[in-house]
């Protein structure tokens, strides 16, 4: 499944398995998540690269583009009983401008059309949790480092 365009400005090209796409997605992760990872564990380049490759193989990654600008990445996947949202990394120059809210709301609208709940996870200490709560996500569980959240399906009447 591809993510439909968010007109008039945003597109979501699917990233491929080539080395430059993997490297781009890793740089988006480092830029967006690096400070939160470093604050707990420091940055182990080899470990982070291996974790990135594992995630990259597990789910589809999409580039977030606004006109000619490369803003970051997102993974959005439709499964039989829910959608998943993750690997949502905006480069710092594009954060705190409402772009994240637009992208999230767009993906939620796709899931709403299919009447599917949306699941995600984030690091406990990452402030992105407040964005997710504002969009109707509720905590469903946790691990030592992650908060698991779900937004119920919006049922059309």
CATH number of residue 127's parent domain: 3.40.630.30
Q: Is residue 107 part of a domain?
A: yes
CA 90 and chain centroid, separation = 9
Q: Is residue 4 part of a domain?
A: no
* pLDDT at residue 72, as a whole number: 98
* pLDDT at residue 53, as a whole number: 96
Q: Is residue 5 part of a domain?
A: no
Q: Is residue 17 part of a domain?
A: yes
* pLDDT at residue 68, as a whole number: 86
**pLDDT at residue 155 greater than cutoff 80:** no
Number of H helices, E strands in the chain: 4, 7
Q: Within 10 A of 77 (CB to CB), how many other CB atoms are there? A: 15
* pLDDT at residue 39, as a whole number: 87
Q: Round the average pLDDT of the chain to a whole number and report it.
A: 95
Domain count along the chain:
1
**pLDDT at residue 76 greater than cutoff 60:** yes
CA atoms within 13 A on the CB side of 86: 20
Tokens of residue 155, six digits: 């049922």
Q: Is residue 83 part of a domain?
A: yes
* pLDDT at residue 40, as a whole number: 84
- List, in sequence order, every residue forming a beta bridge with 70; answer none if it has no partner: 65
Residue 85: give the domain boundaries: 10-151
Quote the pTM value: 0.93
């Amino acid at each position: 499944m591809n993510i439909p365009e968010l007109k008039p400005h945003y597109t979501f090209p699917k990233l491929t398995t080539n080395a430059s796409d993997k490297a781009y997605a890793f740089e988006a992760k480092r830029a967006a998540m690096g400070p939160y990872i470093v604050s707990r564990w420091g940055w182990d380049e080899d470990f982070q690269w291996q974790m990135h490759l594992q995630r990259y193989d597990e789910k589809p990654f999409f580039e977030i583009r606004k006109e000619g600008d490369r803003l970051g990445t997102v993974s959005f996947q439709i499964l039989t009983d829910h959608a998943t949202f993750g690997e949502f990394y905006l480069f710092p120059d594009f954060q705190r401008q409402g772009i994240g809210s637009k992208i999230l709301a767009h993906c939620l609208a796709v899931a709403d059309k299919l009447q599917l709940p949306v699941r995600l996870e984030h690091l406990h200490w990452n402030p992105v949790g407040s964005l997710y709560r504002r969009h109707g996500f509720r905590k469903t569980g946790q691990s030592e480092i992650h908060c698991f959240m779900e937004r119920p399906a919006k049922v059309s009447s």
